[in-house]
Amino acid sequence: MTFETFNFRPELLEAIREAGFREPSPVQAQAIPLILEGKDLIAQAHTGTGKTAAFALPILQRLERTGRPEALVIVPTRELATQVSDEIYRFGKKLGIRTATVYGGSSYSRQIQHVAHASVVIATPGRLLDLLESGKISLSPRFVVLDEADEMLDMGFLEAIRPIIRHLPQERQSLLFSATMSDPIRKLAQTLLRDPAAVRITGAQVTNDKIRQYYYVIDEHERNAALVRLLDYKTPDKAIVFCRMKKEVDRLRDFLAAQGYDVRGLHGDMDQRQREATIRAFKSSSVEILVATDVAARGLDVNDVTHVFNYHLPFDSESYVHRIGRTGRAGREGTAVSLLTPHEFSSLIRIQKAVGGKIEGRLIPRIEEVRSRKDDTLRSRIDALEPTAEDFALLEALKEEYDLTNLAARLLRALRDEETVRGADRIGKSLEEIERYLKQADCPQGNRRGKPRYGRGNFRTRRPRRRG
């Protein structure tokens, strides 16, 4: 299937191609035809599967461009409102579609003015309800989307949805998207939707199968050392490290900065300007690591996050799904890493049962393994370099002082000294210790359904194949 299958307008197809979309994701392939038919829809789809495009593209196809708001998208956070608006604008700009964002912490007058001229309004529940009940805006959208409904539930926003719906016309097409389907969300769907079609995934597919999930068992005092060792070994292009508390975010941010990483923190005590500056820096890759709390990172939509690290396991499976869903987006592969102590095995087993998929155990790499990985990376860098005339000129000058073998060895030593491996040689538990903990947790070795994997074959560190 391709996007041409849906008979989209030429301008919309051109925008889809420019955005780099080649073929529909599973949720897009299932949802788009139903939305084009005018059906109400309840869709369970995990973060990073292309949900925004799944509802945005068919809505953009059906907009009549009347000069008034025809679609309303309700999201849980300011960050998600901005990101959804950006994506809808990207798809709809060749159609002349305007978007407006409505959220707290910004000027009322500017938002009201933007809403009056927009085709699509993206709003958070609190500010939207305020504007509707005060009479500052009036909306009669043909399309209403409730996105990330489970996050709305977690943040206490579901009660604001019902009075919002009372301000909207009964004749509308309503769409509800959620990564999980709890009873409160099902009850909301019954009041919001009329005879909805359903797009569902099974429990075993709650997490994206393009995300490789690993866990490492450590002692509590080893968390910092284990995180640094894994960052050194995995060399993520862009990573999010999740913490439970705001003060932990600040402490870990300062620690990683002292180790030489480009890192920023993100949590709820930061003002909106700081939050937006941090997210911009992370999106633009001027920052390689973002340390964040769950609440602060909700709705964070960055397609090129290569790794997610759980500094602590989250308290529940829904948070785990949302955390690791920040990687493996837009069809890319991703890696999710969790650090846990022996006392947290019960939490790991509970999460495994709830989300399905494979969470495999690994041993923390030792210093020699990290050095070997860094040497392979250095070989790749050398292969990719093209020397300039100035480089050859400097080489001729240096040859007067050193023979070529000695010179090459010195240059390699200088490069390798830049890649120091920090910490103790051995971090974390041994294979034998982990097997004992698994037995104590009533999780025998072997990959029983709903149990974490930690067989011997899973411990072997596979180094990149050496070239030439």
Its pTM stands at: 0.58
Are 108 and 136 in contact, with CB atoms under 8 Å apart? yes
**Alpha helix (H) residue ranges in 175-271:** 183-192, 223-234, 246-258
Kindly list the averaged pLDDT for each block of 10 residues, start to end, along the chain of length 468: 92 89 85 96 78 94 91 89 88 93 88 93 94 94 93 80 92 91 86 90 58 93 95 92 92 94 90 86 91 76 89 81 82 90 84 78 89 71 79 81 78 65 84 80 47 46 37
Angle in degrees, CA 308, 320, 338, rounded to 5 = 50
pLDDT at 179: 79
Residue keyed to tokens 């250095």: 378
348 Cα distance to chain centroid: 20
pLDDT at 334: 92
Residue type, 119: S
pLDDT at 446: 41
Q: Domains plus CATH for the chain?
A: 3-201 (3.40.50.300), 211-366+426-458 (3.40.50.300), 367-417 (no CATH)
pLDDT at 34: 97
141 Cα distance to chain centroid: 30
pLDDT at 455: 46
Judging by DSSP bridges, how do beta strands 143-146 and 99-102 pair with one another?
A: unpaired
